[in-house]
Structure 1
Amino acid sequence: MSNHQKRLSVPKSWPVERKTETFTVKAGAGPHGEDGVPLLIILRDVLGVVDNRKEARYALAQDGVVINGESASDEERPIGMFDILALPDREEYYRVFPDEGGRLSLTPIDEDAAGSKLGKVINKHHVPGGEIQLTLHDGQTLLAGPEYATGDSIVVTNDDEEIVAHFEYEEGALVTAVTGTHAGQIGRIAEIQVTAGSAANNVVVEQEDDDGFETIEEYIVVIDENFTGGDQE
């Protein structure tokens, strides 16, 4: 199987130029599905800390790249929404966040903030023993109490998977669109329009300096004020 991907066919979330060359690296197996961006692209094309695959492999062999608290070992590992990327030797820390237009971008954060990451709860169910298991947007699972609902967001520490913050999916919540026409835009939920049948619920989002927007529930993630730089206070 080829480890190359045609640039013209990569997902819109990938931060690559589509017409400069024919091929780019293909994402390996891992979290985030087809929207996950190969680590090599982040290191080479976005951050510019390596020039090629060989240099990326060397950096990984030296434990020079940490993702969500764990040393990365595969340059094709997918990186996706809200992942935490750390380059400890360079004292650089980033959160993956969608920019306006839907491409994944890197937001610099401090070392303390790099110790945990945000996750959207996309499923919850009871497991043997009566406990509740949450599934997050990137496939991570963890046991939690009954107070968390599908659509909520939680902040989980990277070292011991402790939930340290909880943001409910409700009217008035601060949210961002992570895909679709309004990807990267931030506002507050004005209304959640529940749709009968199997159709997706619609969400109306208001913004202070704009007309706001509407999108489907699946595209919305509740976020923390820290994601806005204070603009939405």
Structure 2
Amino acid sequence: MSNHQKRLSVPNSWPVERKTATFTVKAGAGPHGRDGVPLLILLRDVLGYADSKKEARYALNQGSVLVNGEAVRDEQRPIGMFDIIAFTERDEYYRVFPDEGGRLALTRIDADAADGRLAKIEDKTQVPGGETQLNLHDGSNLRVGDGGDYNTKDSIVVSNDDKEIVAHFPYEEGCLVTAVRGQHAGEIGEIADIKVTPGSGSNSVVVEGEDTSFETVEEYVVVIDENFTGDDE
């Protein structure tokens, strides 16, 4: 199986130029599904910390590049929305955040903000033993003893150390959200109204911000905290 991906067919979320070359690196198996961006692209094409795959592999083998608190040595490891990337030797920390057009961008954060990652609850199910499993946007899941406080479309912050929930942001009118897909991707505001669509159609939300107001389907928004909106330093 080829380790290459044609640039013209990469997902819109990938922060790569499509016409500078024919191929780029292919994402390996892992979280975020097809939208996951290979770590190599962030190291080489976005941050400029490596000039080649060989240099990236050498840096990763030092164990000083962490993704969500865990050392990563695979340059094809998929990186996606809200992941936390730490460069311990540089004392640099970044959060992957949706930018205009839905492309993923790196937002510089401080060390304290890098202790946990934001996750959207896509679904929840009961598992044997009475626990509730929360299925998250990146394909991972988390079990909680009492799932009554958590609903789909809510967001949580999961600690990198012990994988426990350290914050919970309910999906409701007045909450702060960012659009992650669609023509308003990257825009931030508060939900002013949730419009329930009868039948099987998607509900829509009206979002109002300081400089923007838009309407989109609720699947395209993620609840965030004000600390996730920009540079924390």
Match of 1:95 in 2: 95
Measure the CA separation in 1 of the matches of 2:16 and 2:163: 32
Deviation at 1:101, TM superposition (A): 1.4
Q: Structure 2 regions of 5+ residues with no counterpart?
A: none
Over aligned residue pairs, what C-alpha RMSD do you find?
1.1
Deviation at 1:229, TM superposition (A): 4.3
Measure the CA separation in 2 of the matches of 1:79 and 1:188: 27
Pick the aligned partner of 2:162 from 160, 163, 167: 160
Measure the CA separation in 2 of the matches of 1:30 and 1:204: 33
Q: Does 2:30 match 1:30?
A: yes
3-state SS of 2:139 partner: coil
Match of 2:66 in 1: 66
3-state SS of 2:100 partner: coil
Identity of aligned residues (%): 72
Measure the CA separation in 1 of the matches of 2:167 and 2:182: 27
After TM superposition, the score normalised by the length of structure 2 is 0.96
3-state SS of 2:194 partner: strand
Deviation at 1:228, TM superposition (A): 2.4
Structure 2 counterpart of 1:131, one-letter code: E
Q: Does 2:113 match 1:113?
A: yes
* 4+ residue segments displaced more than 4 Å: none
Deviation at 1:7, TM superposition (A): 0.7
Q: Does 2:199 match 1:197?
A: yes
Match of 2:17 in 1: 17
Deviation at 1:208, TM superposition (A): 2.2
Measure the CA separation in 2 of the matches of 1:208 and 1:55: 43
> 2:180 touches 2:221 (CA, 8 Å); kept in 1?
yes
After TM superposition, the score normalised by the length of structure 1 is 0.96
Q: Structure 1 regions of 5+ residues with no counterpart?
A: none
3-state SS of 1:196 partner: coil
Measure the CA separation in 2 of the matches of 1:209 and 1:6: 37
